Amino acid sequence: GGLGSLSPLYRKVFLSLKEPAPGDGEDDLARLSRAIRKEAGVGELRPGLDVLRGLPKTLRDAGWKVTVSLAEGIGCGCAEIAEIEPGRVGRKYFGLAVDIGTTTVVAHLVDLESGRTESMKGAYNRQSVYGEDVISRIIYAGEHKDGLEGLQKAVLDTVNGLIREMTEELNIKRVDIKAAVCAGNTAMTHLFLGIDPTYIRLEPYTPAANKIPAVRAGSIGLDIHPQAWVNCVPGVAGFVGGDIVAGVLASEMAFSEKMTLFIDVGTNGEMVLGGGEWLVACACSAGPAFEGGGIRHGLRAVSGAIEHVEVAPGSLAVKYSTVDGVPPLGICGSGLIEVVAQLYKAGVIDRGGNFVFPGRTPRIRDAGEGREFVLVWPEEPALPGGIAVSEAEIKNLLRSKAAVYAGIRSMLKKVGLPAGAIERVIIAGGFGGYINIREAVNIGLLPDIPLDRYTYIGNASVKGAAMALLSRQARQALEEIAGRVTYLDLSADNTFMDEFVAALFIPHTDLSLFPTVT
């Protein structure tokens, strides 16, 4: 919203040119370019050689009335004359916006004429068989013969699968998709294009490129028009990529007076702080716990995931509810946050996450590697062993929440602002609109500021990519944001480590930071 008129990455413009005449012998290309500039408001124009070769005949055969296809790019000041067709052509043409997540890939198919999103689809990233996180995949790409090719093919297969589903459903041709914008973290972008990602994970964490010029779809095997340009949203650093830049665009924080904190509560835990004047970003490496990873009964926020939990003090009776109200299959991130908050409130665990319940209860049992708390008994659903969270898992979750909170505190410290200066918090990522902010503050995951400052934006990354498909201003904003974000390397000094250790407790070692938590 608010990013000006429709100026998509690819569009068709109908032109009626004045014929050359004695005294008006301007060359064909200049004549065409002048008309395009006037009609479409684009700057420099670049015709492909094929277009130029046929230009004189095409123009004359068409009686100087032609439809020109213009393709622009992110970070490129010029437009390409992609095609010239005789007469007025009104056929539909589409653009593809993709969020290449480490775990999930989400695509939007957008009608570039109307600006409407016609279809949205998501799928698991098929790279997961090579490793669950970006690091394992970078290592796989470097240490296996054809590793990089395998990873590139896996993500392409995932995206191409989504393209097929969407085009079949809408009954359109894949060659009618004329432009694509991909937003992914830096490692995902490298793997998507088949660029060596090795040095992203090695000190001092340097990617091959943060800004990558657009490439032809055919050159990477993306199943849309082979000459279509595929644009990757520019990133900031090895661990703050185009997905975050796109998210910042969608959140509109980069052009706001309000001091905003944008958090992607995912495995990498990227966050951005700032507003119209400045932006700082970091990645706190929260780990996969909030997405259900590393937790035996962890689950993404899908049907059957326990999302709300209450534990009665004393009796330790458990009440829960699941996504879609179906029998429980596991527990998602928001449910885990509530479990920790409720177990602490009920006296089952202490501030450090240790099991300290004084009484005897069948809810707490020995599970080999330490004790666990039973949420759902085996007889309730068809789950052998039921659903339980162990002491180690709770500590794992405390480490994740400590990483997020320490990331926030480190950023605030670096710019010298108190938490109260944050005027709004925008939560993004698959973690879900289900998150109970009150309980997240209670365990010390999020800062204790008025709850009405929190909002949830969903998949901001794909939203930002779709905006770039449609608006030149959005594309310029993406570049501007990527160039303006100051990346803070949390490993560069002790600030993060000190904050992390201080945040390993419920809610924190410094209770004055959480005045409303009792």
Partner 1 sequence: MGLTGLEIFKQLPKTNCRDCGQTTCLAFAMAVATGKAVPDRCPHLSEAARDFLGSASAPPVMPVKIGAGSKQVEIGNESVLFRHDKRFENPTAIAVTVCDTLSNGEIAARVERINGLVFERVGQVYKVDLVAVVNSSGNPGRFAEAAKIAAERAEFALILVSEDPAAIEAALDCTADGRPLVCGANAANYQAMTGLAGRFGVPLAVRGANLEELASLAEKVAALGLRQIVLDSGARETAKVLADQTQIRRQALKKFRPLGYPTITFVDHEDSLQAVLQAGVYVAKYAGVVVLDTVEPADLLALITLRLNLYTDPQKPPAVESKVYEILNPGKDSPVYITTNFSLTYYSVAADVEASRVPGYILPVDTDGTSVLTAWSAGKFTPEKIAEALNSSGIAEKVSHRRVIIPGALGVLSGRLQEVSGWEVLVGPRESSGIPSFIKQQWKT
Residues in contact with partner 1 by CB under 8 A are 135, 201-203, 205, 237, 278-280, 285, 368-370, 391-392, 396, 414-417, 483-487, 491, 493-494, 497, 501
Q: Which is nearer to partner 1, 255 or 456 (CB)?
A: 255
Shortest Cβ 296–partner 1 spacing (Å)? 11
Shortest Cβ 352–partner 1 spacing (Å)? 12
Cis peptide before 507 (omega within 30 of 0): yes
CA angle 24, 30, 32 (to 5 degrees): 95
- The CA distance from 282 to 391, in Å, is 29
Shortest Cβ 286–partner 1 spacing (Å)? 12
Q: Output the CA torsion sign for 30, 34, 37, 40.
A: negative
- The CA distance from 510 to 103, in Å, is 35
Q: Which is nearer to partner 1, 259 or 440 (CB)?
A: 259
Q: Which is nearer to partner 1, 304 or 370 (CB)?
A: 370
Q: Which is nearer to partner 1, 243 or 391 (CB)?
A: 391
Q: Which is nearer to partner 1, 123 or 502 (CB)?
A: 502
Shortest Cβ 477–partner 1 spacing (Å)? 14
- The CA distance from 205 to 152, in Å, is 21
Shortest Cβ 283–partner 1 spacing (Å)? 12
Q: Which is nearer to partner 1, 148 or 279 (CB)?
A: 279
Shortest Cβ 416–partner 1 spacing (Å)? 4
Give Cβ neighbours of residue 359 (< 8 Å, ≥ 6 apart): none
Is 33 exposed, middle or buried (CB count within 10 Å of its CB: 0-12, 13-18, 19+)? buried
- The CA distance from 418 to 38, in Å, is 51
Q: Which is nearer to partner 1, 84 or 281 (CB)?
A: 281
* Pairing assessment for the beta strands 177-184 and 229-232 based on DSSP bridges: parallel
- The CA distance from 258 to 280, in Å, is 14
Identify the residue whose tokens are 């995931």.
305
Q: Output the CA torsion sign for 261, 263, 269, 272.
A: negative
* DSSP line for 296-363: TTB--S-TTEEEEEEE-TTT--EEEEEGGGPPP-EE-HHHHHHHHHHHHHTTSB-TTS-B---S--TT
Shortest Cβ 486–partner 1 spacing (Å)? 4
DSSP 502: H
Shortest Cβ 106–partner 1 spacing (Å)? 26
Max Cα distance, the chain (Å): 102
With beta carbons less than 8 A apart as the criterion, state whether 178 and 112 touch. yes
Q: Which is nearer to partner 1, 133 or 243 (CB)?
A: 133
Neighbour tally for 136: CB within 10 Å = 13
Q: Which is nearer to partner 1, 446 or 504 (CB)?
A: 504
Shortest Cβ 422–partner 1 spacing (Å)? 15
Give Cβ neighbours of residue 111 (< 8 Å, ≥ 6 apart): 92, 94, 117, 118
